[in-house]
Amino acid sequence: MFFFLVYITKHQVVITPDQEDIEHYFEVLERYNTGTASPEEVVFVERYMELLEHRAPVPQDFALRKDDIGKEIKNQLFNAINQETTRPVIHRVHFLRRYWLAAASVSLFIGLGGYIAYHNQQNTPQIVQQAPLDVLPGKTGAILTLSNGTQLLLDSLGNGVVATQAGANVSIQNGALAYDVNGKDAVSNTVTTPKGRLFEVVLSDGTRVWLNAASSLTYPVAFKGNERIVSITGEAYFEVAADVKRPFKVKVNEETEVLVLGTSFNINAYYDESQVSTTLVNGAVKVQNGANGKVLKAGQQANIVVGSRDVVVTAANIDEVVAWKNGSFAFNGADIQVVMRQLARWYNIDVTYDGIPEGTFSGEIDRSLTLDQVLKGLAKTRIHYKIEKGNKVVIQP
Amino acid sequence: MSCESTNTDQDLINQIAAGSEEAFGILFQRHWERLYLSASRKLGDPELAREVVHDVFMDLWRLRGQRDITNVPAYLGKALYNRVINKLVGKKDTYFFDILETHGQSLYEADQSLLEKDLLGLISAWIAVLPERRREIFVRHYFDHLTTQEIADSMGISQKTVQNQLSIATQYLRANYGHLLPALLLMQAFISKK
């Protein structure tokens, strides 16, 4: 018997399988997958799986192509996950829809027509372009540039010390970057958020700064002298620690700076927006633009049109201005470009226009939604769009 | 500074259970290649291998938090088996019978002796799962294609010895189908010692 079996492993005669055996074989495989296989069947399937490793060699060009293959599978997965999260979280979308409705019933108008999204949603079929691609929302993360130029990626680091600068420990605490008071020199650090990232920094004086996407904050590790000076690009929300002896200054550009006494305020100074807006939540700030300066009261906004010497003060909608810090987008009579500039920063997308839809947008949108979910929401107000490969969005007439 | 090197698989699984897509991405990056290569070898089709890897990780995400995963490589290995089997069943893939028909000649492998051992184990496991009636037919099927002279030539022994051996073996198989698997495994151990 032993000889016989050794022999058959080397024997070359072709034996035709019986149909009954083939059917039995597939039944065994299926039982294995459903967990109803007998112990002997499990042994058989697992032995077969092991032997199958010798079925075919790995394609020769695998080493060259593996990065592409890995990326492609990963992209497919994340696209699928997006669609997954859209469907099962019906209650959440529902809540949002109600939120949308509430917003819609108050303020979601299209231009002068007063076309309320609600009706569109209920009565007419969607004219939304099918969008097979989607883009995930942004999240917390930033790049920290140390005084010697070293850059650290702060995305999803756990709590703990990440660097030491001029004697100060730089650590992550509850997702924020924090400096202790032991810094000896005023060496400069910079936190930069790329598109699609949001980050919080706690400076050595206890001042808290939230950076919106595509923004940066430059500050000394320790504040020396009788002024606290930081500079920003993009958008940031400040909660400045009170210190009467050392006023706090935020430099926006050569001309514009904000002088602070302990207070909370928001500065929007994106290079692609037409103006620098400083909005005071509470306390007192003075917005200085060249020779012109205006002191703001809580609830007021100072706007400086790029290139202008004027400082125009208006009443502000605080909720709208600081919505980003609280996890949403808020619009009040914004045109499509204003809306898309905000989306572009958060979803890291490039937006092009085949045509510019008329009308303005008002309402609030959760920033944790995927791009497609947000655009679908906007589509209810008759925006047509297409998401293309490489994070591109085309707005259609 | 990224967390890729510091998080264990178990950390990542816990984060995935809490809904972390980032952890999911890292776990994918860590394991996809091994799974892809294995699926590619098992199915002989890079496209199917791609689908298998996708499906394995999709399942991991969909069932996040619902399964108690204590050994990530073992979990992924089992998931890979399940997904490969799905493909085999779906495509009505009868490669297993090619192996039987050609006695393993269709297999690709440098180390032939190892392969023989694996093949012997597989055949004995297959015999053990066949329904009793089919079991005898299957075994006899193999017998019928071999003449005692062929066996004798290949083993360098006399035809008379082979006939005696076969006679004993046939009687043994007939009388002991139920015990076939352990018998074959014993033989396998004996062969590997030689």
With a cut of 80, say whether residue B18 has pLDDT above it. yes
Residue B103 lies in a domain: yes
Structural domain total, chain B: 2
Q: Do B142 and A15 touch (CB under 8 A)?
A: yes
Q: Which of A207, A201, A200, A213 is nearest to A229 (CA)?
A: A207
- Would you state the structure tokens that stand for residue A292, as one six-digit string? 């012109």
Flag whether the pTM goes above 0.90. Answer: no
| Range from A3-17, A29-43, A219-233, B156-170 carrying the lowest mean pLDDT | A3-17
Residue B3 lies in a domain: no
pLDDT (tens digit per residue) in B102-148: 767 777 765 666 676 677 778 778 888 887 766 666 665 555 555 55
Closest-CA residue in chain A for B190? A2
pLDDT confidence tier of residue B158, bands split at 50, 70 and 90? low
Residue B2 lies in a domain: no
| B-contacting residues in A 31-60 (Cβ below 8 Å) | 32-33, 38, 40-41, 43-59
Residue B77 lies in a domain: yes
| B-contacting residues in A 278-337 (Cβ below 8 Å) | none
Query: Quick one: B188 and B104 in the same domain?
Result: yes
- Would you state the structure tokens that stand for residue B173, as one six-digit string? 């198989």
DSSP-derived 3-state class of residue B9: helix
Q: Which of A51, A2, A66 is nearest to B46 (CA)?
A: A66
With a cut of 80, say whether residue B154 has pLDDT above it. no
pLDDT at B3: 45
> Which residues on A lie below 8 Å from B58 (Cβ)?
77, 80
- CA A24 to chain CA mean position, Å: 52
The domains located in chain A, with CATH, are 21-54 (no CATH), 97-125+327-396 (3.55.50.30), 139-321 (2.60.120.1440)
Query: Quick one: B181 and B114 in the same domain?
Result: yes
Q: At a CB cut-off of 8 Å and minimum separation 6, what does A5 contact?
A: B120, B123, B184, B187
Round to whole Å and give the CA distance between A281 and B170. 93
Q: What is the CATH number of the domain that holds B48?
A: 1.10.1740.10
| B-contacting residues in A 1-20 (Cβ below 8 Å) | 1-18, 20
Tell me, letter by letter, the H, E, C secondary structure of A120-149.
Answer: HHHHCCCCCCCCCCCCCCCEECCEEECCCC
Beta bridge mates, A161: A171
Rounded to a whole number, what is the distance in Å from the CA of A268 to chain B's nearest CA?
29
pLDDT confidence tier of residue A308, bands split at 50, 70 and 90? confident
| Interchain contact A161–B (C-beta under 8 A) | no
Range of the domain at B122: 96-193
Q: Do A84 and B108 touch (CB under 8 A)?
A: no
Q: How many CA atoms lie within 13 A of B156 on its CB side?
A: 0
**Last residue within a domain, chosen from B90, B112, B144:** B90
Round to whole Å and give the CA distance between A367 and A175. 18
Rounded to a whole number, what is the distance in Å from the CA of B9 to chain A's nearest CA?
16
- Would you state the structure tokens that stand for residue B21, as one six-digit string? 């897509």
| Interchain contact B110–A (C-beta under 8 A) | no
pLDDT (tens digit per residue) in A313-369: 999 888 888 888 888 888 877 888 888 888 888 888 889 888 887 777 777 888 888
Residue B128 lies in a domain: yes
Q: Which residues of A152-165 are buried (b: 16+ CB within 10 A; e: fewer)?
A: bebbbbeeeebbeb
Query: Quick one: B146 and B160 in the same domain?
Result: yes
Q: At a CB cut-off of 8 Å and minimum separation 6, what does A75 contact?
A: none
| Interchain contact B50–A (C-beta under 8 A) | yes
Q: Do A15 and B145 touch (CB under 8 A)?
A: yes
Q: What is the CATH number of the domain that holds B102?
A: 1.10.10
Q: Do B21 and A78 touch (CB under 8 A)?
A: yes
Beta bridge mates, A270: none
Q: Do B3 and A156 touch (CB under 8 A)?
A: yes
Picking from B1, B147, B181 by the largest number of A CB atoms within 10 A of its own CB, the best residue to mutate is B1
Query: Quick one: B71 and B127 in the same domain?
Result: no
Residue holding tokens 């091994």? B34
pLDDT at A157: 65
> Which residues on B lie below 8 Å from A43 (Cβ)?
125, 128, 181
pLDDT (tens digit per residue) in A164-189: 888 888 888 877 899 988 888 778 89
With a cut of 90, say whether residue B41 has pLDDT above it. yes
Round to whole Å and give the CA distance between B14 and A382. 42
A80 to A83, A189, A322, B39, B84: CA distances (angstroms) = 5, 39, 32, 21, 20
Round to whole Å and give the CA distance between A164 and A162. 7
Q: Number of residue pairs across A and B with CB atoms under 8 Å?
A: 226
Q: Which of A173, A172, A171, A169 is nearest to A183 (CA)?
A: A169
Q: Do B100 and A153 touch (CB under 8 A)?
A: no
Round to whole Å and give the CA distance between B151 and A9. 11
Query: Quick one: B111 and B186 in the same domain?
Result: yes
The stretches of B18-131 forming alpha helices (DSSP H) are 21-43, 46-62, 72-90, 95-102, 112-129
Query: Quick one: B114 and B162 in the same domain?
Result: yes
Rounded to a whole number, what is the distance in Å from the CA of B68 to chain A's nearest CA?
17
- Would you state the structure tokens that stand for residue A285, as one six-digit string? 């700030």
Closest-CA residue in chain A for B28? A74
**Last residue within a domain, chosen from B90, B119, B138:** B90
What is chain B's mean pLDDT, rounded? 74
Residue B1 lies in a domain: no
Query: Quick one: B83 and B106 in the same domain?
Result: no
- Would you state the structure tokens that stand for residue A192, as one six-digit string? 């930069």
Residue B80 lies in a domain: yes
| Interchain contact A158–B (C-beta under 8 A) | yes
Picking from B96, B101, B117, B151 by the largest number of A CB atoms within 10 A of its own CB, the best residue to mutate is B96
Query: Quick one: B116 and B184 in the same domain?
Result: yes
| Interchain contact A153–B (C-beta under 8 A) | yes
Query: Quick one: B83 and B127 in the same domain?
Result: no
Query: Quick one: B49 and B102 in the same domain?
Result: no
> Which residues on A lie below 8 Å from B33 (Cβ)?
66, 70
Question: Environment class of residue A132 by beta-carbon count within 10 Å: exposed (0-12), middle (13-18) or buried (19+)?
Answer: exposed
pLDDT (tens digit per residue) in A68-119: 999 999 999 998 887 755 443 332 222 233 333 333 332 333 332 223 333 3
| Interchain contact B169–A (C-beta under 8 A) | yes
Q: Which residues of A85-121 are buried (b: 16+ CB within 10 A; e: fewer)?
A: bbeeeeeebeebbeebbebbeebbbbeeeeebbeebb
**Last residue within a domain, chosen from B43, B68, B90:** B90
Query: Quick one: B83 and B121 in the same domain?
Result: no
Residue holding tokens 């928001």? A266
Residue holding tokens 């980003």? A324
Query: Quick one: B67 and B100 in the same domain?
Result: no
| End-to-end Cα spacing for chain A | 80
DSSP-derived 3-state class of residue B75: helix
Residue B110 lies in a domain: yes
Q: Which of A223, A225, A237 is nearest to A180 (CA)?
A: A223
